[in-house]
Amino acid sequence: MSYAEPGLRAGWEPETPVEDTAIRRFLANWVAASAAPVTAMGGQVRTSDGFAASNLGRPAGFFNGTTLLAPLGDHTVDPTMAAINDLYAESSPGEVLLFSAWPTPDLREHGWQLEGHPPLMLRPAGPANPRPSELDITEVRDAAGLRAFEHVMVYGYPLDGIDVGFIDEAVLADNRMHYWVGWQDDQPVAAVGSFVDSGVNDITLLATLPEHRGHGHGEALMWLATLREPTLPAMLLSSDPGRPLYERMGYIPLLRFTVWHRRFG
């Protein structure tokens, strides 16, 4: 989908430079962050002009998902959704998410259900004022740390139908991705990730166990992840409940994504 007039860039053409807009930088980062762990764990990654899809081939939460790289138009929605559905139907990976930076047509006729419209937020590089925290924070560097990180993900979001142990240690070899775990009384209570690529520090997978919320643990981890690369802007897809925290930290809402979900198998 593009404009017919020559010389007018819409911003989602395949040849558009990644630095064209902050949104394009985020999409490039998001696609790389989705593909990297799936590739490391032997899954399937497929990229076309219209979408990028990651498929681990088994239930794995956020690791199974598609990101649209251009708006779905009248002439592209049917073939694009057919290709996406075929990709996941072959392997029955369970719940799959679809992310779009643009409003989409109604995808229910293609078997998908609306998940929501999370705000995309950006914090420019600049001064910070983290609050003191008693949380003991460690970076994930081995299998034991990864299991603690998964524990927070599985029970903090929660991730229904997924057990601890679904992430392979191979993901730790990619130095673009960092995971941290917050501990209290030798128990993992909060976690967060950060993926640096395309000139953006993308904050991912922030979660706190329900019984430990309201004590500033998420904010402590957010500051650590946000300041991982202090010379780069930090971006994230927020939930509406989490938005006040990010705004206090200086994150600015840019637009709302459209997110769909579908279960395969």
250 and 148 part of one domain: yes
What residues contact 192, with CB distance under 8 A and at least 6 apart?
Answer: 179, 180, 203, 204, 205, 206, 207, 218, 221, 222, 224, 225
140 and 248 part of one domain: yes
Mean pLDDT of 204-221: 95
Measured CA to CA, the distance from residue 212 to residue 204 in angstroms comes to 19
Please state the φ and ψ torsions of residue 178, each to the nearest 5 degrees. -125, 140
Is 58 part of a structural domain of the chain? Answer: yes
pTM for this entry: 0.94
Q: Taking the chain, what is the end-to-end CA distance rounded to the nearest angstrom?
A: 31
3-state secondary structure (DSSP) of residue 70: coil
Is 203 part of a structural domain of the chain? Answer: yes
- Tell me: pLDDT of 242 over 50: yes
Is 33 part of a structural domain of the chain? Answer: yes
Measured CA to CA, the distance from residue 67 to residue 101 in angstroms comes to 9
pLDDT at residue number 6: 64
Is 190 part of a structural domain of the chain? Answer: yes
pLDDT at residue number 247: 97
Measured CA to CA, the distance from residue 174 to residue 54 in angstroms comes to 17
Q: Output the CA torsion 65→71→76→82 (10° steps).
A: 10
171 and 99 part of one domain: no
Cβ-count burial 33-69 (b if 16+ within 10 Å, e if not)? bbbbbbbbbebbeeeeebbbbbbbbbbbbbbbbbbbb
178 and 218 part of one domain: yes
What percentage of the chain has pLDDT greater than the value 70?
Answer: 98
DSSP symbols for 105-146 = ---GGGT-EEEE-PEEEEE-S----PPP---EEEE--SHHHH
What percentage of the chain has pLDDT greater than the value 90?
Answer: 88
Q: Could you read off the pLDDT of 129-141 as tens digits, one per residue?
A: 898 888 999 999 9
Measured CA to CA, the distance from residue 35 to residue 40 in angstroms comes to 8
CATH code for the domain in which residue 175 is found? 3.40.630.30
239 and 143 part of one domain: yes
Is 3 part of a structural domain of the chain? Answer: no
Measured CA to CA, the distance from residue 125 to residue 131 in angstroms comes to 18
Q: Which domain holds residue 165?
A: 136-254
Is 10 part of a structural domain of the chain? Answer: no
114 and 219 part of one domain: no
pLDDT at residue number 8: 82
Q: Could you read off the pLDDT of 110-127 as tens digits, one per residue?
A: 999 999 999 999 999 998
Is 9 part of a structural domain of the chain? Answer: no
Angle at 209 between CA 149 and CA 31, to 5 degrees: 50
Report the candidate in 152, 142, 146, 129 with the shortest Cα–Cα distance to residue 222.
129
Report the candidate in 188, 240, 182 with the shortest Cα–Cα distance to residue 216.
182
Is 196 part of a structural domain of the chain? Answer: yes
111 and 140 part of one domain: no
157 and 205 part of one domain: yes
100 and 186 part of one domain: no
106 and 140 part of one domain: no
Q: Could you read off the pLDDT of 140-153 as tens digits, one per residue?
A: 999 999 999 999 99
What's the total number of domains in the chain? Answer: 2
Report the candidate in 72, 23, 65 with the shortest Cα–Cα distance to residue 44.
65
> What is the Cβ-side half-sphere exposure of residue 52, based on CA atoms within 13 angstroms?
16
164 and 225 part of one domain: yes
69 and 168 part of one domain: no
